[in-house]
Structure 1
Amino acid sequence: MGEPSSSPPNVQIPIVGMTFNSENELREYYNAYAQSKGFGICKLGARNGQDGKQKWFSIACAKNGVFTSKGKNILQLRPSIKTNCKAKINVAVRNECEFEITSVYLEHNHILSPGKSRHIRSHKVLDSIAKRRLEVNDVAGIPLSKTFQSIVVEAGGYENLNFDERSCRKFISKARRLRLGNGDAEALCQYFNRMQSRCLNFYYLYDLDEESRIKNVFWADGRCRAAYEYFSDVITFDTTYLTNRYDMPFAPFVGVNHHGQSILLGCGLLSSEDSESFIWLFKAWLSCMHGRAPKAIITDQCRSMAIAIEKVFPNTNHRFCLWHIMKKLPTKLAAHAQYKSIKKALKNIVYNSITIEQCERNWMKMIEEFELEDNDWLNSLHVQRSKWIPVYVKCHFWAGMSTSQRSESMNAFFDDFVHSKTSLKQFVEQYDRALKKNIEKEKKLDFQSFNSTIPIVSGYSLERQFQSVYTNDIFKLFQNEVTGLMFCDTSIIEDDGRTTIFGVVESILGTNGEHLRDVSFKVHYTPVESFVNCQCLMFEYRGILCRHILAVLRRMKVNQMPVNYMLDRWRKDLKRGYQSITNIYDSDVCDSQRNRYNYLAPMIQEVQQLASMSEDNTSVLAEVLKEMKEKFMLDSTSSTITTPPTTTTQTEKLIHSPVRVRARGRPTTKRKQSVIEKITKSATRARKKDHVSTQEQLNDQVSTQEQWNDPVSTQLSFTSLLSCQLSHVAD
């Protein structure tokens, strides 16, 4: 069974002692032999020597080995090609340029069919000509199915091709991710060069593929790099946002500033979401930030990200987004008969556990009660519990964040500027505008915190202390804890003369004010060392004192909070260096012209308004403007001739959006009318003749209304008005 037939004359049967100059040459030979016989190949069993170089490997039949299904449903198992076939060749690497076949096994335990070789995975190879045609036709908008059919016709049938349509689709999918349209790469380079000429601290890095195409990009301006010095304690990273026509995920590094507002600390565009791309991006960001890794990072539950973070940021606390995990509950557990009870129990464990011991105890109780011992998803979550359950991670500072909503909110922020069809040319322009808006928002919040204060809700001196130093948005959060004091009762549990342990019982109320439950917390207080610590660890992970600590301090009549409990990152009275950095996104090329325009515009509008009050004044102003326009045009022409041409460097060229492509589609045609429609319309026209005068008035009203409702007419009206204004300025 499976005895190989005689090989074609041009493909020699492998024998012991055959040598090749490279592994690629050997693989091409054995693959050609396998194709002529009707089986696929795969590499296995590679071994390295003590010097780390490859010394031995095997190329075996693709049906080598035994397939073990990991599916739980025995009625829906995946098909397998494995038959534990022993056919293979063993190869010894004598040196870097000599590969010798040491043993050959030609016997197969399955039927060989040379006529079906083109369907085997190892023989599906796209040649360079086919790749070129696929890519060119894809850029031209020709559907892939039609391109593939043309290749089939040219080859004389499917049987003469070494690939199928699925292989073509995979290639086009990858090419679309990596491809940059005509001018996009140049625009990106010009943008980065221009930014760096304005600010030496502007940092950017490319990652190119073997064809010198941009694969991954990272950049951060001087303001982002300076802000990282103050807000490097925690960042979120998310790649679920697509911002350009190449489907390159937008990967922002997002932090939290002193207002609790999202702040961009660098960003990238990736061609894929594998560990290799993430490692490149993280290394680029680490190099940009002078080798200073973040203290904590929040991502979604992505294995590729976890591998990259572990390698590039080994000392960084990594946490999974809690929201991404909890939203999977319906998908993973909805089929269970007791789903609602399981959901309630799991949420109680996640959100209401105060200690790790309590969390572990309730988790085991849930698993036993609902018989979930064999649930792979819950088991995997329990293994990774230290990276997502709040009670395990709240000992580290997270600025109050438990999810990657910061990155997603930054994505939503960019929604006003970019979309899935945005080219990279447009993206760099819109990115500038988005950053301007974000910076302006921060400046506005700074002014509000400087210019106004939020009234206190109690006469407590600690509230006044935080009111004077914290930004308004952060003080609101602190004020919520102050108002929560009315729901807390304190009592002394233990006092050894140095440290006092208080018990604080908080009453939890529902949305309608109904009492739900009481929760007890322990607060340790050492007055000599000004040390206070609560079991809820709110200050540790959020940076704001909790109501339980405030209740103890109020009982101990503490009126002045130690400085170490007032974090600098929330203060409004500190001058942060990055805020004084000039906004490099404002071009100074046309500043003088813009100033002159701003000076003339209000006067021209005032004169225009006065002249429009009478017909005579309008005629006089029109004549004056015509004369001034002709004069200014002559002056402009003469200055153009006498003034030597100015040269612009490559970095000073403005970014232009690509020409808008005309939408494809057939023109509209008149629909054929039936006989009944023709008779009905004739009768309607006859009735209209009796109401000509009334109808003319109605038509005038409708015409006026349609003119303002029609976007084209409205656009033309505004275009005419704008042209008039511009001509006034020119005059």
Structure 2
Amino acid sequence: MVEMHDKSPSTDKEALLVNYIVTGSNGTDHDIDIPSKGRVFDDDDEIYNFYKEYAKKIGFPVHRRARKRNDDGCLRCVSFGCARGGKHRRKVVNPRGSMETGCGAYITCRRRQGDGKWVMSVVSLEHNHKCDPEDVKLYKCFEPVCSSAQKQRRIELNCGGLTVKKKAKIAVKNEGVGCAEMGAERNAVGEGRRLRIGKGDVEALLKFFAKMNGENAGFYWQAEFDEENYLKNVFWADGMSRAAYKEFGDVVSFDTKYLVDKYDLPLVAFVGVNHHGQTILLGCGLVSSEDTEAFVWLFTEWLMCMSGKPPKAIITDHAKAIENAIEIVFPQTRHRWCLWNVMKKLPDEFGKHDKCLDITSDMKAAVYDTQSSDEFEQLWHWMLVEYGLQDNQWLKDLFEERSRWVPCYLKDTFWAGMSTTQRNEGSNMFFDGYMNARSSIKQFAEQYEVVLRKKVEKEKLADDTSSQKTIPLVTTYPMEKQIQKWYTNSKFKEFQVELLAMLYCNFTKIEKTPTHMIYNIQEDVYIEDFCKKMTFHVTYNEEECDVQCTCQKFTFDGIQCRHSLSVLCHNGIRKLPDKYILRWWRKDVIRAHTRVKVGFSCWTNDDATKRYHDLCTKFAELAALAANDETLYQDIVNWLDCKKKELQQTVIKAK
């Protein structure tokens, strides 16, 4: 039993703070039992359960702070507090995220002599961080103990996407269909330009679209048929993909892996990267052939689905049909080939040459180590002469299209961190582990929701981790703390790599002009035991605090390079100018796609998502009423603009 006392919280400030956290105001009462001095408990477990229940309603994690004993070993004092108390230690090598913010909220109880009951003696309710009851599901201290049945259910829910090969074997065994029969059923390849379809695929596809239409807000799909009403091409995108495109659609990778690698499934996918650098799906398609006409239809449907807004940059494999389609549908979009796809062909082209290893090494040096087009062309022509490759047609074709694949021609464009030195993750990782070379459309439709649920859960977990845990600082530079505050944990780690790499950078020459300074920075680049020295040129304008490096890392992937950071620190710049902090990587931005109602993810269908969906429904009803009257339309627009400004100011103050 808990003895109730009339004593209020230790200070009026603490009481007001609790009310404000719970209600968002200074006076509304809620059914929350607030800790107070003099409160009496029977044992320490009862204290912990009481404080844990209080923390759950307020929205902060709990841990045991201290336990003190008498000389005879009996407990005499216990302390419980916010788990975000304390300060994490700085760790230079492989720093881990931490929730600790130095929060000072805690309670202390002492055992009373005589009856042995516990009395609350110290109460501190003030937190130095945001408390939100909706976040309690993220804290381990509130995790329920799962029964064996619940654990088994979790395994059953997740096993569908883990072992595709086993699932495929089971499916074949149950249906009594051998590999030869499955191949015979896919007769569309030899039947002209028709979609490769197996037994039950069309029914499975229609069932899949009907299910997605019913459960997924904003689901879009289109199909194309030939003159004989045979299915040719299909495209679809769910509501979350369409919303994510508005935020992350400037850079897109068009994945044709399943066509290139000759899978039975003629699948293509539009893939982007989010604020954590994770791949996100922006649309899928099934195509009957790999010609310009099929890709033009697919790109056109995708563009219509995305409100007619083309991407600023797109990455594809090297294919003339895709290149032609992009020039037709996205004439203003910067097109780049996957460099990994180009370089992997070196052994096939020169494997029989007696100097194959030397050619490969020199070609890689020309591609990866050059910083300007003149430097690349000089090394390229030297390589052709050195090995007598002037008449090699493959190299001739590559050189003519060098602006589509050589890094020094591409670094003036933002590519959202999609690397030029290896195959983009979105091109070979999004559906891998859930499909194999013999997966049918029916099997893919069954796996689609599993894949997307996993991706959504991964993004949600990264969002929560970036919000709740802080990667420790490894230097004392103020700009590191600045980026720690604004960027997601994964992108902050990338910034830390550049900050620490300043150790390998040395100033070799400084030139002064009337408008700016030019710094020559030599970097020691270590490749295993071998060290090579590379020189970069950094231009710095003191008046505008503008810095530009010949490596163009910031332009390319949005993270400021070690060479520019060296110059900024050399000139006493403590914090990065706002123009070098990209919205794309920020963790404090509310992304619309995380509020879209989806059927495949239990994680995203929380209270905030439901409120978002309800608001969208009401706004649609309001739009229908006001669209036919100009006066009503203007009144609604003006009201929404005012309300938007009020909400933005509220959010800014809350931060």
Q: For this structure pair, what is the TM-score category when the shorter chain's length is used for normalisation?
A: 0.5 to 0.7
Measure how far apart 1:243 and its partner are. Answer: 12
Aligned to 2:570: 555
Measure how far apart 1:240 and its partner are. Answer: 2.0
Aligned to 2:347: 330
1:173 to 1:292, Cα distance in 2 relative to 1, 3 A: same
Match of 1:383 among 385, 400, 407: 400
Say if 1:185 and 1:214, in contact at 8 Å, map to a contact too: no
Measure how far apart 1:173 and its partner are. Answer: 3.0
Measure how far apart 1:187 and its partner are. Answer: 3.3
Say if 1:237 and 1:407, in contact at 8 Å, map to a contact too: no
Deviation string for 1:410-457 (max 9, x for gaps)? 654423333344443332221011101110000001111111111111
Mean Cα deviation higher: 243-252 or 347-356: 243-252
Say if 2:188 and 2:197, in contact at 8 Å, map to a contact too: no
Q: Measure, in 2, the Cα distance between the counterparts of 1:171 and 1:250.
A: 15
Q: Measure, in 2, the Cα distance between the counterparts of 1:218 and 1:336.
A: 44
Say if 2:312 and 2:333, in contact at 8 Å, map to a contact too: yes
Letter in 1 for 2:469: S
Q: Measure, in 1, the Cα distance between the counterparts of 2:508 and 2:263.
A: 62
Aligned to 2:493: 476
Q: Secondary structure at the match of 1:533?
A: strand
1:347 to 1:410, Cα distance in 2 relative to 1, 3 A: closer
Aligned to 1:310: 327
Aligned to 2:458: 441
Q: Measure, in 2, the Cα distance between the counterparts of 1:263 and 1:522.
A: 35
Is it true that 1:585 corresponds to 2:600 in the alignment?
yes
Match of 1:430 among 447, 452, 460: 447
Q: Measure, in 2, the Cα distance between the counterparts of 1:415 and 1:552.
A: 42
Q: TM-score, normalised by structure 2?
A: 0.61
Say if 2:339 and 2:422, in contact at 8 Å, map to a contact too: no
Say if 2:276 and 2:585, in contact at 8 Å, map to a contact too: yes
Is it true that 1:237 corresponds to 2:242 in the alignment?
no
1:182 to 1:575, Cα distance in 2 relative to 1, 3 A: same
1:236 to 1:404, Cα distance in 2 relative to 1, 3 A: farther
Match of 1:505 among 515, 519, 522: 522
Measure how far apart 1:330 and its partner are. Answer: 1.2
Deviation string for 1:635-691 (max 9, x for gaps)? xxxxxxxxxxxxxxxxxxxxxxxxxxxxxxxxxxxxxxxxxxxxxxxxxxxxxxxxx
Q: Measure, in 2, the Cα distance between the counterparts of 1:363 and 1:183.
A: 53
Measure how far apart 1:293 and its partner are. Answer: 0.6
Aligned to 2:533: 518
Of the two structures, which has the highest relative contact order with CA contacts closer than 8 Å and spacing of 6 or more?
A: 2
Deviation string for 1:513-564 (max 9, x for gaps)? x5x2221111111121121100110101111000000100110010021111
Q: Measure, in 2, the Cα distance between the counterparts of 1:401 and 1:408.
A: 8
Aligned to 1:692: none
Aligned to 1:224: 241
Aligned to 1:393: 410
Q: Measure, in 1, the Cα distance between the counterparts of 2:390 and 2:379.
A: 14
Larger Rg over CA atoms? 1
Letter in 2 for 1:527: E
Letter in 1 for 2:465: Q
Q: TM-score, normalised by structure 1?
A: 0.55
Measure how far apart 1:177 and its partner are. Answer: 6.0
Q: Measure, in 2, the Cα distance between the counterparts of 1:172 and 1:447.
A: 46
Aligned to 2:306: 289
Is it true that 1:572 corresponds to 2:567 in the alignment?
no
* Long gaps (5+) in structure 1: 1-138, 148-168, 592-731
1:399 to 1:246, Cα distance in 2 relative to 1, 3 A: closer
Q: Secondary structure at the match of 2:191?
A: helix
Aligned to 1:209: 226
1:487 to 1:458, Cα distance in 2 relative to 1, 3 A: same
Say if 2:223 and 2:234, in contact at 8 Å, map to a contact too: yes
Say if 2:217 and 2:238, in contact at 8 Å, map to a contact too: no
* Long gaps (5+) in structure 2: 1-175, 607-655
Aligned to 1:462: 479
Measure how far apart 1:214 and its partner are. Answer: 2.1
Q: Measure, in 2, the Cα distance between the counterparts of 1:473 and 1:503.
A: 30
Measure how far apart 1:510 and its partner are. Answer: 2.9
Q: Measure, in 2, the Cα distance between the counterparts of 1:279 and 1:559.
A: 50
Q: Measure, in 2, the Cα distance between the counterparts of 1:142 and 1:434.
A: 25
Aligned to 1:357: 374
1:337 to 1:143, Cα distance in 2 relative to 1, 3 A: closer
Q: Secondary structure at the match of 1:263?
A: strand
Say if 1:236 and 1:406, in contact at 8 Å, map to a contact too: no
Say if 1:243 and 1:420, in contact at 8 Å, map to a contact too: no
How many pairs were matched up? 427
Q: Secondary structure at the match of 1:178?
A: coil
Match of 1:319 among 315, 327, 336: 336
Q: Measure, in 2, the Cα distance between the counterparts of 1:574 and 1:260.
A: 15
Say if 1:202 and 1:221, in contact at 8 Å, map to a contact too: yes
Is it true that 1:542 corresponds to 2:529 in the alignment?
no
What is the root-mean-square deviation in Å for CA atoms of aligned residues?
3.0
Aligned to 1:279: 296
Equivalent residues in 2 for 1:195-206, closer than 5 Å: 195-206=212-223
1:404 to 1:313, Cα distance in 2 relative to 1, 3 A: farther
Deviation string for 1:380-405 (max 9, x for gaps)? 11101111010111111112224596
Mean Cα deviation higher: 186-195 or 329-338: 186-195
1:238 to 1:407, Cα distance in 2 relative to 1, 3 A: farther
Say if 2:257 and 2:427, in contact at 8 Å, map to a contact too: no
Q: Measure, in 2, the Cα distance between the counterparts of 1:410 and 1:384.
A: 21
Equivalent residues in 2 for 1:54-133, closer than 5 Å: none
Q: Measure, in 1, the Cα distance between the counterparts of 2:215 and 2:487.
A: 34
Measure how far apart 1:492 and its partner are. Answer: 5.0
Match of 2:387 among 370, 393, 416: 370
Say if 1:299 and 1:404, in contact at 8 Å, map to a contact too: no
Aligned to 1:255: 272
Say if 2:478 and 2:574, in contact at 8 Å, map to a contact too: yes
Q: Measure, in 2, the Cα distance between the counterparts of 1:521 and 1:584.
A: 50
Match of 2:469 among 452, 455, 466: 452
Say if 1:400 and 1:541, in contact at 8 Å, map to a contact too: yes
Q: Measure, in 1, the Cα distance between the counterparts of 2:575 and 2:455.
A: 36
1:582 to 1:255, Cα distance in 2 relative to 1, 3 A: same
Q: Secondary structure at the match of 2:248?
A: coil
